[in-house]
Structure 1
């Protein structure tokens, strides 16, 4: 594991029991930048500093006391998890421009993938059809040839197709999870997740014990777009979780590409509407390569 500072070790201890985004910790860092006092704050001080409810402050105080002797570094080392706090040089600078950057990224796999120059998100419906798979045959090979990392969310459908396409063409891929690394969801992607934990990269902002919840998946969408230079949408309904990732991308000035589809297909409603609103229609990965070269020159 990379070397952590004493402050980062204290941050990991806090984040384990209070997994909130960085912007929620601003007050704490203002009054305690070295994080040496937070274990000793009263419940009332925790409410005021962290802007949490009294019941949550009581729970937090109890958890902090219980976890004083927990050997977090040993825990992560044993499970081959690499935690990267936002203060660490390995933390992706792209994410710091988000309104609510992840406080810590927990990683499993080849962390060197994170430092690759180009990353493109490929997302779409959990119900994606063979049309997405065929489109990826035209999109992914040129990206892989040019050392572009494919980022997605390990969900069923389009995400799974994107990860598998990157691997099958000999490329690199990152899965951003909506839960901790002790859990794998969905169950049918367990084998893919295990393969990626060996040769690719799994990333999450949640400590290992956090289970998949309805609210954790929309949260991870900002990380998918935040890590990426651009976002590609294959198939998606007009109103869907995919579109929330697109919104994050647009808010942060990222290029959005959409695969045009049949007007009779509900799953082409999202991409076709995006194209109408200004997204770039995409039919070849070389279109993205040309734009990436322009962005980074």
Structure 2
């Protein structure tokens, strides 16, 4: 068998067609090393995990395993690191969520993951001037105090949050909804390159994965999951940012929302989040007083 280590087997299976999260979760629950999976007969695997003969045949295919190993080496040559949920380097705060990603593809400085002082910042794709002023007022002091800013490299508040961290001399993590070979949106490829050199570019999707609509809501759970708190600056009533806020609440994390005028459509979602229990946030102190337990030991 070419896949000698549990980590290799987990990465290989996570990239295999026909193996979804539920099946992989069941496999890991039965054997954390995944070794027994490859020692079972084809018939037993089909019956135990409800897999088609084609899927089992493809997984066992030696040529496919060999191609995977070559791809694995190519990642290393391109400075793409891979962390799995089996590894000590895997962020503990992310391990705590209901549906943590089994595999993380990473480019950049792994030390960025060591600090617990991380705040996720998301918001509308078309921020108002007041929204951008709110971003600077609240986030810039946090960056100065060495808080790492986590966001999704999207248009609007996301990309402005990354840029603010970069220009203020701080650190930032960009969580992608696609693979590294297909940065989305393409206009942000240059910023992604900078983040992938000295900060952290992260995705649960293999590098050759193209962007797809369903992947971005899944990506949002990682944005909120990497941080103890999520700040939302302007979000309409139907907004992807609200998905991140809702997921943060479900994960038991602090959610901060900047309020806005009832006449401003961009504030509809944030105002609703405040009604649902998010903390009304108008200053950096509003965030720090809730996350003081983190700043106390970092």
Q: Return the TM-score normalized by structure 2.
A: 0.89
Shift of 1:276: 2.4
Change in Cα spacing, 1:34 to 1:294, as seen in structure 2 (3 Å) is closer
Shift of 1:105: 0.7
Counterparts of 1:112-131 in structure 2 under 5 Å? Answer: 112-131=111-130
Does structure 2 conserve the Cα–Cα contact (< 8 Å) formed by 1:21 and 1:101? no
Change in Cα spacing, 1:276 to 1:31, as seen in structure 2 (3 Å) is closer
Alignment partner, residue 58 of structure 1: 54
Change in Cα spacing, 1:64 to 1:165, as seen in structure 2 (3 Å) is farther
Alignment partner, residue 165 of structure 1: 164
Does structure 2 conserve the Cα–Cα contact (< 8 Å) formed by 1:20 and 1:102? no
Shift of 1:237: 0.6
Does structure 1 conserve the Cα–Cα contact (< 8 Å) formed by 2:229 and 2:254? yes
Counterparts of 1:207-246 in structure 2 under 5 Å? Answer: 207-246=206-245
Does structure 2 conserve the Cα–Cα contact (< 8 Å) formed by 1:142 and 1:289? no
Does structure 2 conserve the Cα–Cα contact (< 8 Å) formed by 1:27 and 1:49? no
Alignment partner, residue 68 of structure 1: 65
Does structure 1 conserve the Cα–Cα contact (< 8 Å) formed by 2:46 and 2:56? no
Change in Cα spacing, 1:51 to 1:144, as seen in structure 2 (3 Å) is farther
Shifted more, 269-278 versus 22-31: the winner is: 22-31
Counterparts of 1:100-179 in structure 2 under 5 Å? Answer: 100-179=99-178
SS in 2 for 1:131: helix
SS in 2 for 1:207: coil
Change in Cα spacing, 1:33 to 1:271, as seen in structure 2 (3 Å) is closer
CA-based RMSD of the aligned residues comes to: 2.3
Does structure 2 conserve the Cα–Cα contact (< 8 Å) formed by 1:143 and 1:286? no
Alignment partner, residue 78 of structure 2: 79
Change in Cα spacing, 1:224 to 1:20, as seen in structure 2 (3 Å) is farther
Shift of 1:64: 4.8
SS in 2 for 1:272: helix
Alignment partner, residue 278 of structure 1: 277
Shift of 1:208: 1.2
Alignment partner, residue 11 of structure 1: 10
SS in 1 for 2:99: coil
Change in Cα spacing, 1:67 to 1:95, as seen in structure 2 (3 Å) is same
Change in Cα spacing, 1:295 to 1:172, as seen in structure 2 (3 Å) is closer
Query: CA separation in 2, counterparts of 1:215 and 1:95?
Result: 20
Alignment partner, residue 254 of structure 1: 253
What do residues 206-254 of structure 1 show as CA deviations (whole Å, max 9, x unaligned)? 1111111011000011111111110111011112211111111111111
Shift of 1:130: 2.5
Q: Return the TM-score normalized by structure 1.
A: 0.89
SS in 2 for 1:106: strand
Shift of 1:19: 9.1
Alignment partner, residue 94 of structure 1: 93
Question: Which ranges in structure 2 are unaligned for 5 or more consecutive residues?
Answer: none
Shift of 1:104: 0.6
